[in-house]
Amino acid sequence: MATLIKDIKLPDNVPSNILFEKHIEFLKEYGQDENNYEYGMMDYLRVSGMYWCLTALEFMNASPSHTIEEVAQYIKQCQDPESGGISACIGHDPHILHTTSAVQILCTYNKLDVIDTEGVVKYIKSLQLPDGSFMGDKWGEVDTRFSFCAVVTLSLLKRMDAIDVHKAVDFVASCKNFDGGFGSRPLSESHAGLMFCCVGFLSITNRLDIVDRDTLAWWLCERQLPSGGLNGRPEKLPDVCYSWWVLSSLTMLGRLHWIDGNALKTYILACQDTETGGFADRPGDVADPYHTVFGLAGLSLLGHKALQKVNPTYCMPQHVIDRLQLKPQILL
Ligand code: FPP
Ligand code: ZN
């Protein structure tokens, strides 16, 4: 059956390279003014936002606007002493997404000692349900994103023993669909973002044998559109963040070469805002740190020499993963 292809036309003047200085300035200034309306509106995603900005700067070998000590002290204040979980900002309820981002930041800067890491382990353990799945927080939403976050966090802390890994694998395996893809829960539609989470989960748990490698890789490489960009599901527009979700999954599956790398590179470079700096989802849209980190990470996977090498499972600098002596599974 034919599917509708929605795409965009690339602008005429696509930058030929990464606008490093613009992006560094954009990320250093983003969300710095506490009196600004947007600052308050972004409370609910602050710690993950810090992970996007700081990781993007790290990929470009640039230093952040705050000291590492200030960053670490902010995160420390977001840890809930009772549950051990970490929240998006001071005073909010803890959530696994921000707990993972916090641990990723602290590992990158070798600063894990500022938080109660045993509290984090206790929190992640408390979110596992009898069927092996994970809730995002105490309110009970279940999603394969949270299974991924659980194993990212615990593997970075070297405490995978705290959860039932067999049951966790069974749950993720039960989310596999007829098309080789994965969704958020059993019987949920295949989605490239969730495929990254499930493939990443299986890479960390060393269970990539569970995937139907070529069926899955075929679904993923079909996400590339004539513009060179990738979408997250059939019939959707291209979006630069899928350069990460799709490309990292293909890398873990040893099928990166199934994508036209040059065409994708041109699409990603076209998503740069030449005035404000930063990357947007599509050329001409408003740039933000989320699409900036995943645009840069995609270019790093494509082998851009001026960027630090990114690890496809953790979306962190490879040198950090090496320092921690982690060896997530990659199919060759
Ligand atoms: C698209 O969301 C993306 C996803 C569903 C994946 C989210 C993944 C995580 C939160 C884990 C992140 C961890 C690391 C280490 C990077 P969307 O809501 O934009 O989807 P849409 O394009 O369908 O709207
Ligand atoms: Zn996006």
The answer to whether the CB of 315 is under 6 A from ligand 1 is yes
Task: List CB-based neighbours of ion ligand 2 within 5 Å.
Answer: 239, 241, 281
Judged on CB neighbours under 10 Å (0-12, 13-18, 19+), 233 is middle
Q: Under DSSP, is residue 30 helix (H, G, I), strand (E, B) or coil?
A: coil
Write the pLDDT tens digit of every residue in 223-250.
999 999 999 999 999 999 999 999 999 9
Q: What is the rounded CA–CA span in Å between residue 164 and residue 197? A: 18
Write the pLDDT tens digit of every residue in 61-116.
999 989 999 999 999 999 999 999 999 999 999 999 999 999 999 999 999 999 99
Q: Ligand 1 centroid to 279 CA: how many Å? A: 16
Q: What is the rounded CA–CA span in Å between residue 36 and residue 34? A: 5
- pLDDT value for 39: 67
Q: Ligand 1 centroid to 82 CA: how many Å? A: 28
Residues of the chain with pLDDT under 70: 1, 37-39
- The pTM assigned to this predicted structure is 0.96
Q: Which of 103, 141, 188, 196 to mutate to test the pocket of ligand 1 (most atoms within 8 A of CB)?
A: 196
Q: Ligand 1 centroid to 290 CA: how many Å? A: 10
**Ligand 1 atom nearest to 184, measured from its CA:** 5
Residues in the chain: 332
